[in-house]
Structure 1
Amino acid sequence: MELDSVDVTLLRMIQKDSTLSLADLAESVNLTTTPCWKRIKRFEELGIIDKRVALLNPAPLGLDFTAFVMLKTSDHSHDWYQRFSSQIAEFEEVMEFYRMAGEYDYMLKVVVADMQAYDHFYKKMVNAVTGIADVTSTFAMESIKYTTALPIHER
């Protein structure tokens, strides 16, 4: 999809604050509300805007421990992949889940309260999922940059 400068500005604004009113968005890009709404509706229909959510700060909620979990499997069949994906997706502690190229087959970002909570998650995961050949975990000491805003440019 071709994005013009108005599209880029609207998408950047919505990424930073999805609670902005239609009137505020339209004014910022020098449109009336109807054409602005039509652009936003088109972004939704094309799947560019996937959903609108509130981003919560994990620290005040006592979720200060972030682990990155790398998994290797000995089973690369489609059936195993389907079972594995649905099982991992059920764990609320898993914030992100990727199939990888390289040394490890999958990577998870796991957010929990502390090492004890991580150990509990780890034991649940390895007991629930068969076919895992290796698990390696690393733990974040400090979050230096976190954003959900994509780097959007005109194309």
Structure 2
Amino acid sequence: MLDHTDRKILNLLQQDATLTVAQIADQVGLSQTPCWKRIKRFEREGLIKGRVTLLDRHQLGLGVIVIVTVKTADHSDQWLQTFAEGVSLIPEVVEFFRMSGDIDYLLKIVVRDISDYDRIYRKLTKIAKLSDVSSSFAMQEIKSTTVLPLPS
């Protein structure tokens, strides 16, 4: 169970993982050692899975986000394993979900342009037999965050 101070520490780290323990401790009203111990506990328990640097996709020339929905007639474990392993090898696929409802799988793909997506599409369709692949291109990114809401 997270207390108020735990949530404050985690929110600060989600906003800026480069903050020092001293900076975090100061902002949450703890001394450095208890703050450091909490952070180490979060890491040990797997609550903090890692620390990353977020890049600006536009500056990297990755201007297109494609949301791809996939339907399949084969719902076997072997099919899923083959498809998941194949999709995992495509770095442009940044998110990949097994869904409930009418769609079987949803992928978020980041690419330079439409022809770059076509290259990825061709890879996808070679991984495993698919019933339907539908692609939607994001016109505007309104909200994108890695910050998770922390329960009270």
Same fold (TM over 0.5): yes
The one-letter code of the counterpart of 1:126 is T
Q: Secondary structure at the match of 1:117?
A: helix
Quote the residue 1:18 is aligned against.
Answer: 17
Quote the residue 1:117 is aligned against.
Answer: 116
Q: Secondary structure at the match of 2:68?
A: strand
What is the alpha-carbon distance in structure 1 between the residues aligned to residue 130 and residue 102 of structure 2? 14
What is the alpha-carbon distance in structure 2 between the residues aligned to residue 69 and residue 118 of structure 1? 11
Quote the residue 1:82 is aligned against.
Answer: 81
Quote the residue 1:148 is aligned against.
Answer: 146
What is the alpha-carbon distance in structure 2 between the residues aligned to residue 44 and residue 85 of structure 1? 27
The one-letter code of the counterpart of 2:74 is D
After TM superposition, give the deviation of residue 135 of structure 1 in Å.
Answer: 0.3
After TM superposition, give the deviation of residue 114 of structure 1 in Å.
Answer: 0.3
State yes or no: 1:61 paired with 2:60: yes
After TM superposition, give the deviation of residue 5 of structure 1 in Å.
Answer: 0.7
What is the alpha-carbon distance in structure 2 between the residues aligned to residue 109 and residue 130 of structure 1? 18
Quote the residue 1:39 is aligned against.
Answer: 38
Quote the residue 2:103 is aligned against.
Answer: 104
Q: Which runs of 4+ in 1 moved over 4 A?
A: none
- Considering only aligned residues, what root-mean-square deviation do their CA atoms show, in Å? 0.8
Q: Which residues of structure 1 form unaligned runs of 5+?
A: none
Quote the residue 2:93 is aligned against.
Answer: 94
The one-letter code of the counterpart of 2:148 is L
Of structures 1 and 2, the one scoring higher in RCO (CA 8 A, sep 6+) is 1
After TM superposition, give the deviation of residue 125 of structure 1 in Å.
Answer: 1.5
Quote the residue 1:73 is aligned against.
Answer: 72
Q: Secondary structure at the match of 1:60?
A: coil
After TM superposition, give the deviation of residue 29 of structure 1 in Å.
Answer: 1.3
Aligned length: 152
Quote the residue 2:137 is aligned against.
Answer: 139
After TM superposition, give the deviation of residue 86 of structure 1 in Å.
Answer: 0.8
C-alpha contact 2:82 2:128 (8 A) present in aligned 1: no
What is the alpha-carbon distance in structure 1 between the residues aligned to residue 44 and residue 28 of structure 2? 21
The one-letter code of the counterpart of 1:142 is Q
Deviation readout 1:24-57 (Å, 9 max, x if unpaired):
0111111111111111111112211111000001
State yes or no: 1:130 paired with 2:95: no
What is the alpha-carbon distance in structure 2 between the residues aligned to residue 125 and residue 81 of structure 1? 13
